Structure 1
Amino acid sequence: MNQINIITDLIKWIEKNLEQPLSIDHVAEKSGYSKWHLQRMFKKVTGQILGTYIRHRRLTHAALALRLTSKPILDIAMQYRFDSQQTFTRSFKKQFNVTPATYRRNDLWNPSGLTPPIELQKNHLSIPEPTFLTLPEQEFWGITYKNNCDLNTFINENVAFRKQFFNDYLAKTLSKKKVIPDKIYSLSCLVKSKDKDRQDEQELLYSIAIDDQSISSENVERIVCPGGLYLCFKYIGAPAGFIDFLSQIYFSAIPLLNVQLRRGKIIEIYSNHNQLTKLDNITDINVIECDYCIPIVHK
């Protein structure tokens, strides 16, 4: 096996184990090489220092957890193997120029400092290509869930919420011989804590909705989504691949883009539902079509 393949496999393993002990000794033991030889090989192949790369990737995951989840800062520090919140804050400020608390509170999210994973085999690179889209203010009617998970389960739990809503909604719609709407929406946003003693905490709200007021179900509410500029990624593929698609957006695409994200609702637009009228439930769908839209600011 050549050195590029060895380091490629090692990088994949590191990505899956950022919450585990990853000292140079641990990584060397996994690789089967001495730590001195492994560090020289990693620097030669990637141009980066192995220990620095691991720290930057951990801090990148931590930064995403601060912006995308409601997990307390201390818990995030422990999750990514910092021995104290003070150590985490020092390392975080060195990479992002602000403290974790400020990073979480800021209305604008500057992605500079986020470190994408190293991609050595460019022919296998499949980062989604974005488009810029200006959306008007819209009204929706749907059901809102509170999602207090961490970054690892953030994507999986949102998928579970969609399945629950889609199954309930489709069952009622199809049983009444109604037409499936052209678009079904998922809306997610983070709400700052109103408690003065918990200003560094936030709550993730996740809504599933349609733009038809006639929807009849328990707990349905009116949801207003302000207009503005969005960075949109298109996904067409199997439902099982959607989790990898979102991971690519947050762990690879966003760190590489020179845009500022703003607070607001992330909008998922699901379209082309003709196949649904022939299915018993959402788990039978083979292909989904989704526009994943993230609010950003004009340059």
Structure 2
Amino acid sequence: MMNQTSIISDLILWIEKNLEQPLSIDHVADKSGYSKWHLQRMFKKVTGQILGTYIRNRRLTHAAVALKLTSKPILDIAMQYRFDSQQTFTRSFKKQFSDTPATYRRNTLWDLEGIMPPIVLNRTRFMLPEPSFVNFPEKVFWGITYRNNCSLNQLIQNNAVFRKQFFTDYLAKYFKNHKMLPDRIYTFMRTHSDKDHIDEQQIFYTIGLEDNSIVDNIHKYVNQGGLYICFKYVGIPSGFSDFMSQVYFSALPRLNIKIRAGDVIEIHYDHSNLTASSIVSEIPLMECDYCVPIIMKDDAGCL
């Protein structure tokens, strides 16, 4: 017989895939095969959380991300995550995020307090190292900018796929004129909501160097700099998506910061083993600093 942790772990994975579907306690109990009373007791025992509250918090978290990263109407977002009216959605949203959905969307700074990560059982998650705070100066880089679209639900996973595609193209262009890469490669990522496709994000990803190296289609790129919070990642490339999820959904919501407009910067190190035929998935070890543009909450009133 499966132990309770395995049962609840499988159930959580199913809930995550079905947040836009009916998820009353009766629906979830039917899926689990247990009575709703037994299931709720088991869920609380294993996770320390109340099942119905967990589902609502996860739906509101997804709704908050949709408000900030898409142009989808608020009512549509409320309906997407199974709130029976915009009024009910607004009341629940304000309780979790201390702002109405409209105010939350309008704010130029993104306060992640209230974002609730999914519960993870049965496996050891990558432990994030302590972040550092860095003030980057405005600086000129030389690079190539790539662009793609993806749905909001696939933003983090597709980001890893796009990174592989973009790096493969960039490396092929670079090695036409050079034998070895420099010690550091910089990437600058920014996203914009797509007015023509309200469920999608436009991803702009610039790969560049500090010097004007001869690369096909290279252009000048100016990063505005400012205060960043940086997390170090050392691991296999396939683990980077889980790393990013933990940065945004676990680490940043606990800190006294707000995300401001600006590029997310990745600084990639140690490319001594890369060749013209290398692709990102073949790199045995990936080392980079992942830096998010922020402002301290205590300074937000000074803007």
Using the size of structure 1 for normalisation, the TM-score is: 0.82
Structure 1 residue 120, shift from structure 2 partner? 6.1
Aligned letter for 2:211?
Answer: D
The 5 Å alignment of 1:194-233 reads: 204-218=203-217, 220-233=218-231
Distance 1:14 1:258, change over 3 A: farther
1:206-243 residue CA offsets vs partner (Å, 9 max, x unmatched):
3232222234323x432222222222122222222211
1:16-74 residue CA offsets vs partner (Å, 9 max, x unmatched):
4323332212211222111122123323444432111101011112223333x335244
Paired residues, number: 290
Residue of structure 1 in register with 2:143 after alignment: 142
The 5 Å alignment of 1:89-168 reads: 89-118=90-119, 124-134=124-134, 135-168=136-169
Residue of structure 2 in register with 1:198 after alignment: none
Q: Out of 274-283 and 47-56, give the one that drifted further.
A: 274-283
Residue of structure 2 in register with 1:257 after alignment: 255
1:66-93 residue CA offsets vs partner (Å, 9 max, x unmatched):
33x3352445444433455554333322
User: What secondary structure does 1:116 align onto?
Assistant: coil
| Contact preservation (8 Å) 2:66, 2:72 | no
Structure 1 residue 273, shift from structure 2 partner? 0.7
Q: Out of 261-270 and 159-168, give the one that drifted further.
A: 159-168
260, 265, 268: which one aligns with 1:267: 265
Residue of structure 1 in register with 2:12 after alignment: 11
Distance 1:260 1:283, change over 3 A: closer
User: What secondary structure does 1:291 align onto?
Assistant: strand
Distance 1:107 1:137, change over 3 A: same
Aligned letter for 1:62?
Answer: A
Distance 1:147 1:80, change over 3 A: farther
1:86-115 residue CA offsets vs partner (Å, 9 max, x unmatched):
543333223212222322221222222112
Structure 1 residue 266, shift from structure 2 partner? 1.0
Looking at structure 2, the residues matched to 60 and 254 of structure 1 have their Cα atoms a distance apart, in angstroms, of 14
User: What secondary structure does 2:267 align onto?
Assistant: strand
Residue of structure 1 in register with 2:301 after alignment: none
Aligned letter for 1:208?
Answer: I
| Contact preservation (8 Å) 1:116, 1:255 | no
Distance 1:268 1:84, change over 3 A: farther
Aligned letter for 1:175?
Answer: K
| Contact preservation (8 Å) 1:132, 1:229 | no
Q: Out of 276-285 and 257-266, give the one that drifted further.
A: 276-285
The two structures, once aligned, show a CA RMSD in angstroms of 3.0
Distance 1:149 1:81, change over 3 A: farther
Looking at structure 2, the residues matched to 170 and 47 of structure 1 have their Cα atoms a distance apart, in angstroms, of 48
Distance 1:283 1:275, change over 3 A: same
Residue of structure 1 in register with 2:72 after alignment: 72
Residue of structure 2 in register with 1:237 after alignment: 235
| Contact preservation (8 Å) 2:177, 2:214 | no
| Contact preservation (8 Å) 1:70, 1:149 | no
| Contact preservation (8 Å) 1:78, 1:84 | yes
Looking at structure 2, the residues matched to 143 and 77 of structure 1 have their Cα atoms a distance apart, in angstroms, of 38
Looking at structure 1, the residues matched to 6 and 161 of structure 2 have their Cα atoms a distance apart, in angstroms, of 35
User: What secondary structure does 2:207 align onto?
Assistant: strand
Looking at structure 1, the residues matched to 252 and 27 of structure 2 have their Cα atoms a distance apart, in angstroms, of 29
| Contact preservation (8 Å) 2:190, 2:263 | yes
Distance 1:145 1:278, change over 3 A: closer
